[in-house]
């Protein structure tokens, strides 16, 4: 700007005495000065203020504290009678009567069916007649053998005939008894599959079933992984087998209600099914009102409290190619990505078995903003569901 003014002063037409050329130079200087002023103004308007320093991103963190966590495991089970007896006829014949009421409780020995016994009674009468004759022959020959009036061979033959006819008479008597079909156990009777007048026998289908339902069995499959985990945790320790007697089980009915009586572990199969990779386990549940019936489906639940467990929300855990990571805020609010070993899932929470300690601050919200060594602004994580509704997922 000073240069332009100096140009105007030096090139003044009055001082130089060059009217035409001086005037042109004067106008040229004026134009240059105006252009300089315009450019400087534009440069000043387009100048950006210096960039402000980036603030640390806000993230929500939770303080890791130990707590007692109830861990639930559930399996789909099928109910069955403790004893499930199939009632079959032992002799062939026509069904004459059905004495029991279907669906009622029976005692062992209660009469259920009757088969026509007349053919078997006739066979029994014939066998008894032969047996009576044989008995007379034996009694007649015994005194004669002492007088050497008959040979020992005759007495032996008579005894053999007696014993053979006695066995035939016993079998005939048994067949007569088999015409009355009774309940083999105490239990709940099923529907009859045969009607009066049907020809029944050992080769036909069962007449009905009787199930002992108090207590009632619940069969459910346990995975091979769960079996191996249980063996390592309990049976390798002193007193491990006694733990089976202390296992308490719940039964969840198909309508979602909890059966009011607790069940106990009963037995485990002797092999793992190679088709499913599961082990069949049986539990017993009291059933005094007979409300549970064989064939029902239900969920079997086992509850175990894990003491002093370190739990964090599931959303705080990042899974990458089978490994699990969490973001921990350390000193200076600097983030460290840490590998962890996860355990059971408990509702919206996840039990961490290794990789965290009490007092660690774990990022729950804002994981997409952090990397290793990122400085953050941590704020407390506030969500009521993080501490409520702890329940293990069914796998």
Q: 231 and 297: one domain?
A: yes
Q: Confirm whether 28 is domain-assigned.
A: yes
Domain boundary among 179, 209, 239: 209
Q: 205 and 316: one domain?
A: no
Predicted local confidence at residue 162, as pLDDT = 87
| pLDDT tens string 308-359 | 889 899 889 998 888 899 999 998 889 999 999 988 887 788 899 899 999 9
Question: Are 137 and 162 a contacting pair, CB within 8 Å?
Answer: yes
Q: 376 and 270: one domain?
A: no
Q: 187 and 284: one domain?
A: no
Confidence of residue 395 (pLDDT cuts 50, 70, 90): very low
Predicted local confidence at residue 235, as pLDDT = 64
Predicted local confidence at residue 383, as pLDDT = 67
Domain boundary among 305, 337, 357: 305
Closest CA to 6 of 25, 276, 147: 25
Confidence of residue 392 (pLDDT cuts 50, 70, 90): very low
Confidence of residue 44 (pLDDT cuts 50, 70, 90): low
126: left (phi over 0), alpha (psi -120 to 50) or beta: alpha
Domain count, the chain: 4
Q: 296 and 342: one domain?
A: no
Mean pLDDT of 243-266: 87
Q: Confirm whether 326 is domain-assigned.
A: yes
pLDDT at 391 over 50: no
Question: Are 94 and 329 a contacting pair, CB within 8 Å?
Answer: no
* Least confidently predicted of 92-96, 235-239, 248-252, 371-375: 235-239
Closest CA to 329 of 365, 375, 368, 366: 375
Q: 300 and 313: one domain?
A: no
Range of the domain at 10: 2-46
Q: Confirm whether 52 is domain-assigned.
A: no
Domain boundary among 165, 192, 209: 209
Average per-residue pLDDT for the chain: 83
Predicted local confidence at residue 13, as pLDDT = 44
> The domain spanning residue 231 has which CATH number?
2.40.30.170
Predicted local confidence at residue 304, as pLDDT = 81
pTM of structure: 0.64
Of all helices (H) and strands (E), which one includes residue 187?
A: strand 187-189
Q: Confirm whether 395 is domain-assigned.
A: no
> CA-to-CA distance for 351 and 341, rounded, in angstroms?
9
The C-alpha angle with vertex 15 and arms to 14 and 16, in degrees rounded to 5, equals 100
Confidence of residue 176 (pLDDT cuts 50, 70, 90): very high
Confidence of residue 186 (pLDDT cuts 50, 70, 90): very high
> The domain spanning residue 65 has which CATH number?
2.40.420.20
Confidence of residue 195 (pLDDT cuts 50, 70, 90): very high
Q: 101 and 175: one domain?
A: yes
Q: 284 and 362: one domain?
A: no
């Amino acid at each position: 700007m000073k240069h332009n003014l100096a140009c105007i002063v030096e090139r003044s037409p009055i001082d130089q005495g060059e009217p035409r050329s001086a005037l042109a130079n004067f106008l040229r200087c004026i134009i240059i000065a105006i252009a300089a002023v315009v450019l400087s103004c534009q440069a000043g308007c387009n100048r950006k203020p210096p960039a402000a320093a980036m603030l640390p991103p806000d993230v929500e963190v939770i303080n890791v504290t130990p707590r007692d966590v109830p861990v639930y495991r559930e399996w789909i089970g099928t109910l069955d009678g403790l004893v499930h007896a199939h009632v079959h006829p032992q002799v062939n014949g026509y069904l004459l009567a059905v004495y029991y009421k279907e669906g009622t409780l029976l005692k062992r020995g209660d009469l259920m069916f009757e088969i026509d016994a007349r053919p078997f009674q006739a066979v029994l009468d014939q066998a008894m007649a032969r047996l009576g004759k044989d008995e007379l022959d034996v009694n007649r020959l015994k005194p004669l053998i002492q007088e050497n009036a008959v040979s020992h061979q005759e007495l032996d033959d008579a005894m053999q005939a007696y014993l053979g006819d006695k066995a035939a008479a016993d079998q005939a008597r048994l067949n007569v008894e088999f015409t009355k079909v009774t309940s083999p156990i105490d239990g709940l009777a099923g529907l009859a599959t045969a009607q009066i007048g049907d020809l029944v026998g050992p080769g036909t289908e069962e007449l009905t079933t009787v199930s002992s339902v108090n207590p009632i069995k619940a069969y459910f499959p346990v995975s091979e992984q769960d079996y191996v985990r249980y063996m390592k945790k309990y049976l390798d320790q002193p007193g491990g087998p006694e733990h089976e007697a202390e296992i308490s089980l719940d039964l969840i009915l198909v309508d979602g209600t909890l059966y009011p009586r607790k069940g106990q572990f009963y037995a485990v199969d002797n092999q793992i099914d190679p088709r499913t990779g599961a082990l069949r386990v049986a539990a017993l549940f009291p059933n005094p009102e007979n409300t549970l019936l064989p064939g029902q489906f239900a969920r079997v639940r086992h509850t175990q409290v894990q003491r002093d467990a370190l739990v964090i929300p599931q959303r705080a855990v990042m899974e990458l190619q089978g490994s699990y990571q969490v973001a921990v805020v350390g000193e200076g609010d600097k983030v460290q990505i840490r590998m962890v070993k996860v355990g059971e899932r408990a509702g919206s929470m996840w039990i961490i078995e290794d990789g965290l300690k009490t007092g660690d601050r774990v990022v729950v919200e804002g994981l997409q903003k952090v990397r290793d060594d990122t400085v953050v602004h941590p704020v407390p994580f506030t969500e009521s569901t993080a501490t409520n509704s702890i329940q293990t997922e069914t796998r």
